[in-house]
Chain A
Amino acid sequence: DVKVTQSSRYLVKRTGEKVFLECVQDMDHENMFWYRQDPGLGLRLIYFSYDVKMKEKGDIPEGYSVSREKKERFSLILESASTNQTSMYLCASSFRGPSGGFFGPGTRLTVL
């Protein structure tokens, strides 16, 4: 069974804190993605990675950075959390080339 796991289901942080969201996949997928999901806005791509140590900006990268040191792990970093980053964060992975991929269960982040 394909598994994409995310480090936390729920997270509460204070404004200005540095936040790390971790994602691990066990399918040897080349591609990994971070999305945020907000009501009425669908899923918006923050960053993605096609390979180890490789990263590309998505549609809304401001305020975020990522790290991919190992193929199975993709981390999303909020350098200085702000209240407008309160959201559901979803990680996904897929094989190279157009494919649907698999999503993790999501991390609901609240920034106070």
Chain B
Amino acid sequence: GENVEQHPSTLSVQEGDSAVIKCTYSDSASNYFPWYKQELGKGPQLIIDIRSNVGEKKDQRIAVTLNKTAKHFSLHITETQPEDSAVYFCAASTQTSGSRLTFGEGTQLTVNP
């Protein structure tokens, strides 16, 4: 089955710096890659996603890139703010798995004021 690895497990940055979280996946048939943000005491919230027919997608300070050849995708957060501090999860799914997602282990991002 699909295996998703996520790095780093913890990331600390200064406010205003950029943060990058990387994920690799094993199943070349994977075609959908969402990212989630989980704040303390809450369920994960979808923040951005990308499909395999697209190489990059941006939404304000957040962007995701996908390299299908290397089977990895990354989350980029620019101009980080303290409220970006949270746990971030990547995930992947295949057409045949329908909506079943395989998640990475999560990255604890801390933005220091």
Contact = CB atoms under 8 A, between A and B. Distances in A.
A102 interface: yes
B36 interface: yes
A103 interface: yes
Interface in B1-57: 1, 6, 9, 31-32, 34, 36, 41-46, 49, 51
B62 to A, nearest CB: 14
A96 B1 CA distance: 20
B46 A96 contact: no
Chain A, interface residues (CB within 8 Å), range: 20 to 34
B99 interface: yes
A78 interface: no
Residue from A59, A99, A104 having most chain B Cβ neighbours under 10 A: A99
Contacts of A58: 100
Given A43-B44, A48-B99, A50-B99, 6 more contacts: A33-B99, A90-B43, A100-B34, A100-B46, A105-B42, A106-B43
Interface in A69-112: 90, 92, 94-106
Contact of B100 (A42, A45, A103): A45
A93 to B, nearest CB: 9
Contact of B103 (A31, A43, A97): A43
